[in-house]
Amino acid sequence: MEAIGTLAGGMAHDFNNILQAISGYVELLIAKKSEDDPDCRYLGTISKSVARASKLVQRLLVFSRRVESKLRPVDLNEEVVEVQKLLASALSKMIDIELDLADDLETAFADSVQIEQILMNLGVNARDAMPEGGKLVFKTRAVALDAQFCNTHFGARQGDHIRLTVQDTGCGIDKETMEHIFEPFYTTKGLGKGTGLGLAMVYGIVKNHGGYIECTSVLGKGAAFDIYFPVSSKVDRSQLEPLEGEKAVLGRGETILLVDDEKNLLDLGRDMLEGGGYVSLVAESGESAIDIYKREKARIDLVILDLVMPGMGGYRCFEELRALDPGLKVVVASGYAPGNEVVKKILKSSGTAFVRKPYRLADMLKKVRWLLDAAST
């Protein structure tokens, strides 16, 4: 699973760059057309398709644990109750939803949106396993995982946890499927009826939360997913996502150095920045960025930096740029998330910000303006 996650993360990064170029140029074209231009409908369709593709990429990144979880104190019982309301209208009336929630739960430290994704995904899968009806049960329990449990459940960690169980009385899962159940793109559904990313995403979310997941099943008698979340007091609260401000997006003639090894993204970035009121310089590698900065330091106000590049790479480039100018403002643009270890190191420094690829041009311009203004106040 770790090897598959590494492969999936690498694929997602490259695909994000492709999507960024497509979506960026579509935005530029739309901006040049009147609302009644028939081309706008075609461009709008392309834009929607890019958004759908981006969601698939995000699911791959969740699986490979390169997407940050926005962790906050969460009452898992409340999350289950809310999702039960949603499922009650989405599932067949022949499926009974039963809640068995413990009263003595501590607070979990989790991303409530991602918890909802887990519950909805498992609930819909259970529906598909019970075409003739049945029972879907959600349980919560306070449990302590000991050394014996962890020794026989690879990836589990000792300590206090909240166990969330999603159990159905459906057709069950055979042995062969069980061996591949969390792999991306593995699906037992017919052509066009599933991407095979649902349970892979569930797996990635659980791992992002420092948790553990296992599935048990008996053919003809249903399946159960047990998910173990660490309680809030056991989790590093530095993972909390910082709040960001919003400023006007237009530039005032500042000079931006854009660093990316993809030529089409450099061309897009130049068009975006110059159309937004900035002067642009571009570098196709970290080494080139250092050379340009040494020559043009006096007029460069901010750097937009890709992380994954041949040669010295984005992080080393950042370190050398900051050695030349400790106060340099840097926006990291990457398909990885702020929870990525390299991104975390950069964002710990003042005068830095992050934009996830593929980004909307307006979002990048907003972040650039915000960082420039924040640094000048």
pLDDT in tens, 189-244: 544 444 445 687 788 888 878 889 999 998 988 999 999 998 865 444 444 333 33
pTM above 0.85, yes or no: no
Which CATH architecture describes the domain 72-237?
2-Layer Sandwich (3.30)
Which pLDDT value is given to residue 96?
92
Amino acid at 109: F
Strands 329-334 and 222-230: unpaired
Which pLDDT value is given to residue 99?
93
Q: Do 283 and 313 form a contact (C-beta atoms < 8 A)?
A: no
Stretch among 133-137, 189-193, 254-258 having the lowest mean pLDDT:
189-193
Q: Do 305 and 259 form a contact (C-beta atoms < 8 A)?
A: yes
Is 324 a residue whose pLDDT tops 90? Answer: yes
Report, in this order, helix, strand and coil percent for the chain, each rounded to 5.
45, 20, 30
Core vs surface per residue 161-190: b (16+ CB within 10 A) or e: bbbbebbbbbbbbeeeeeeebbbbebbeee
Is 140 a residue whose pLDDT tops 80? Answer: yes
Is 346 a residue whose pLDDT tops 70? Answer: yes
Which spans in the chain are helix H? 2-31, 39-63, 76-90, 112-129, 147-152, 175-180, 198-208, 263-275, 286-296, 313-324, 341-347, 361-376
Looking at the domain 255-376, which fold is it?
Rossmann fold (3.40.50)
Q: Report the percentage of the chain scoring pLDDT > 70.
A: 81
Which pLDDT value is given to residue 296?
94
Neighbours of 204 (CB within 10 A): 27
Higher-pLDDT residue of 205, 3: 205
pLDDT averaged over every residue in the chain: 81
> Residue 313: phi, psi to the nearest 5?
80, 165
Q: Do 69 and 111 form a contact (C-beta atoms < 8 A)?
A: yes
Q: Do 302 and 372 form a contact (C-beta atoms < 8 A)?
A: yes
Is 256 a residue whose pLDDT tops 90? Answer: yes
Give 245's pLDDT tier (boundaries 50, 70, 90): very low
Measured CA to CA in angstroms, residue 122 lies from 165, 181, 201, 309 at distances of 10, 12, 11, 38
Which pLDDT value is given to residue 13?
67
According to DSSP, residue 162 is labeled E
Which pLDDT value is given to residue 184?
66
Mean pLDDT comparison of 47-51, 149-153, 287-291, highest-scoring range: 287-291
Which pair of structure tokens corresponds to residue 25?
Answer: 């140029």
Mean pLDDT calculated for residue range 339-358: 82
Is 23 a residue whose pLDDT tops 60? Answer: yes
